[in-house]
Amino acid sequence: MTTTAPETTLIGHWVDGAPSPVDAARTAPVYNPATGGEIARVALADAAEIDAAVASAVAAQQSWGALSTGKRAAVLFRFRELLAAHADELAGVISREHGKVISDARGEVARGLEVVEYACGLPQLLKGELSDEAATGIEVFTTREPLGVVVGITPFNFPAMVPLWMSPMAIATGNAFILKPSERDPSAANVLAQLWPQAGLPDGVFTVLHGDKDAVTALIEHADVAAVSFVGSTPIARYVHATASAAGKRVQALGGAKNHGVILADADLEDAADHLTAAAYGSAGERCMALSVAVVAEEVADELVALLAERARAVRVAPGDQPDADMGPVITAAAKERIEGLIGSAEREGASLVVDGRGLQVDGHEEGFFVGPTLIDNVAVEHEVYREEVFGPVLDIVRVSGLDEAIELVNANPYGNGTAIFTSSGAAAREYRRRVTVGMVGVNVPIPVPVAWHSFGGWKDSLFGDSPIYGPEGINFYTRPKVTTQRWPARKVAASFHFSGDGEK
């Protein structure tokens, strides 16, 4: 069986372990961002399709959740092998609809694989806790049980990795998982859907429902959905968190970001410039952990800006499938227009445009959604380009006097996803790490996405619902604890009218 993206121009849902008939009344366009051309349409699920998919997931979860942890882990191990074997193919599918370069698409599959590998350790992760002889003749133990049917709603920028942050964790812990991927690059989800049955996952445990905001609202309010994982922009994360919470669901909703890289005067500037360039312009800046603001100590700012400008001009912008491309197009024509508008606003508001990526033409791809690397100096916190999450290849330079002012600036920002500090001082790095109100911190590491056995999550407007994703927090999110207090007495134990206290121990 091949796992390439469907050849049809209509991308359909995946329900009950098989592709659904593709005769949708409502569809949305899917573009190749490098050419600007429509390459497919994706079905948008209606209420009846959603009800049928949830019903299939409810039925499948009953027996899947009751299976031994060893048997569930065996499916995860097989899925891991299949995913690794199909990584290149999946990277091609991602690049075609998203626009990112193939090596970066392979990277996102690799990070997803890491989560699958973590989930393979399920028997160990779910072994629970036991207090032997907690009172005389009594043991108390905690087991963790699946929630039921859980939903994952994912953004366009990591069409394989973010679904893989959620689904292996949810499935390993005994839940049925319904994925509602981004309608802008939907095919990666269907590739994953094709692999699960080959790994031996029972039909209905992994479902893909394509759709837009109507599908999201129907899913997060559905009576038979127990929990919602969302990753996307802050306004939608806030809405999903409020709506699903009001409907009684457990919710984790990861939102947008404005990630600051702080460059102190004692940093290795060449090294910092290399890392900032890659972290600002990689994947055309469409990463929730992209460094979009460099907070630079005034005394080295001119030197660093010169190094950054040189590097920004050297970035090779080309379609993602070209082997020497550093950076591809942005996702849609609307995204390009918005990003270029924000660059224009910076110029109007008094910032200095050092490298201007507007109007970039890529030979043979004149209709593609390309924006060139952009470097803006003397940005102030009042500027729109600073206040907005640009989500494009734009790096702002904000000049500060030193560490204290840098910390104040970063902490005043409403977002708190990731941050990095470049310095040769361990003491300064330690102080920054301890005082900064951001969930993930890099020390001389530009994009500190945690490995799969830690958990991923920002603070403030970058995460609603308190629960970070994957890793140990993922296990907790997708299970609920049950505590059993048991006694198997050799002889009769006297009943007591008072609540058990020290006397009974």
Between 101 and 215, name the residue whose CB sits nearer to ligand NAD: 215
| Binds ligand NAD (CB under 6 A): choice among 16, 97, 108, 389 | 389
Shortest separation between residue 363's beta carbon and ligand NAD, angstroms: 28
Annotated catalytic residue within 288, 410, 438, 463 = 288
Tell me if 216 contacts ligand NAD by CB under 6 A: yes
Give, as one character, the DSSP assignment of residue 327: B
Residue placing its CB nearer to ligand NAD in the complex, 273 or 469: 469
The contacts of residue 207 (CB under 8 Å, 6+ apart) are 13, 14, 15, 16, 53, 56, 57, 176, 177, 178, 179, 193
Among 91, 228, 254, 284, binds ligand NAD (CB under 6 A): 254
Nearer to ligand NAD, 94 or 273 (CB): 94
Q: Which of residues 391-430 bind ligand NAD (CB under 6 A)?
A: 391, 417
State which amino acid sits at residue 367: E
Residue 397 sits at φ, ψ, to 5 deg, of -110, 120
Between 265 and 294, how does the x/- string for binding to ligand NAD read (CB under 6 A)? -----------------------x------
For the segment 7-46, give every residue that binds ligand NAD (CB under 6 A).
Answer: none
Stretch that binds ligand NAD, among 60-68, 88-96, 180-188, 495-503 (CB under 6 A): 180-188
Touching ligand NAD, residues 96-125 (CB under 6 A)? none
Which residue, 31 or 156, has its beta carbon nearer to ligand NAD?
156
The two structure tokens encoding residue 309:
């400008």
State the minimum distance, in angstroms, from the CB of residue 2 to ligand NAD.
Answer: 26
Question: Minimum CB separation from ligand NAD for residue 397, in Å?
Answer: 21
Instruction: Using the rule CB under 6 A, give the single segment among 157-165, 168-176, 190-198, 394-402 that binds ligand NAD.
Output: 157-165
Task: Write out the binding residues for ligand NAD, residues 426-455 only, by CB under 6 A.
Answer: none
Beta strand 291-297 pairing with 259-263: parallel
- 230: amino acid identity, one letter: F
Find the helix or strand (DSSP H, E) in which 91 lies.
helix 87-98
458 binds ligand NAD per the rule CB under 6 A? yes
Question: With binding defined as CB under 6 A, does residue 153 bind ligand NAD?
Answer: yes
Number of residues that bind ligand NAD (CB under 6 A): 28
Residues 127 and 73: their CA atoms lie apart, in Å, by: 13
Residue 26: CB minimum distance to ligand NAD, A: 13
Interaction with ligand NAD in 222-241: which residues (CB under 6 A)? 231-233, 236, 239
For ligand NAD, which stretch binds (CB under 6 A), given 51-59, 178-186, 401-409, 440-448?
A: 178-186
SS3 content of the chain, % helix, strand, coil (to 5): 40, 20, 40
- Residue at 21: amino acid letter: P
**In the complex, residue closest to ligand NAD by CB:** 232
Choice between 236 and 308, CB closer to ligand NAD:
236
To the nearest whole angstrom, how small is the minimum distance from the Cβ of residue 289 to ligand NAD?
7
205 belongs to the binding site for ligand NAD (CB under 6 A): no
d(CA 459, CA 254): 9
| Residue 167 within binding range of ligand NAD, rule CB under 6 A | no
- Tokens representing 392 are 């494009």
Residue among 306 and 334 whose Cβ is closer to ligand NAD: 334
Residue pair 285/292 in contact by the 8 Å Cβ criterion = yes
How far from 66 is each of 70, 148, 151, 341, 476, CA to CA, in Å? Answer: 12, 11, 20, 54, 18
Q: Which helix (H) or strand (E) element contains residue 346? A: helix 333-348
Cβ at position 60, least distance to ligand NAD in Å: 23
C-beta separation of 143 from 168 below 8 A: no
Pairing of strands 352-355, 374-377: antiparallel
Which one of the spans 110-118, 147-155, 271-279, 428-436 is the region binding ligand NAD (CB under 6 A)? 147-155
Nearest distance in Å: CB 152, ligand NAD? 9
Residue 120 appears among annotated catalytic residues: no
Complex with ligand NAD: residue 94 or 257, whichever CB lies closer: 257
CA distances from 292 to 155, 194, 203, 267, 441 (A): 19, 36, 42, 19, 15
The stretch among 7-15, 92-100, 150-158, 261-269 that binds ligand NAD (CB under 6 A) is 150-158
Site residues (CB under 6 A) for ligand NAD, limited to 49-78:
none
Q: How far is Cα 353 from Cα 374, in angstroms, rounded to an integer?
A: 8
Cα–Cα distance, 211 to 87 (Å, whole number): 25
Residue type, 233: S
Is there a contact between 166 and 205 (Cβ–Cβ < 8 Å)? no
CA distance 244 to 248: 6
Radius of gyration of the chain (CA): 25
| 409: helix, strand or coil | helix
Contact set with ligand NAD (CB under 6 A): 153-158, 162, 180, 182-183, 212-213, 216, 231-233, 236, 239, 254-257, 288, 389, 391, 417, 458, 462
Active site residues per annotation: 288
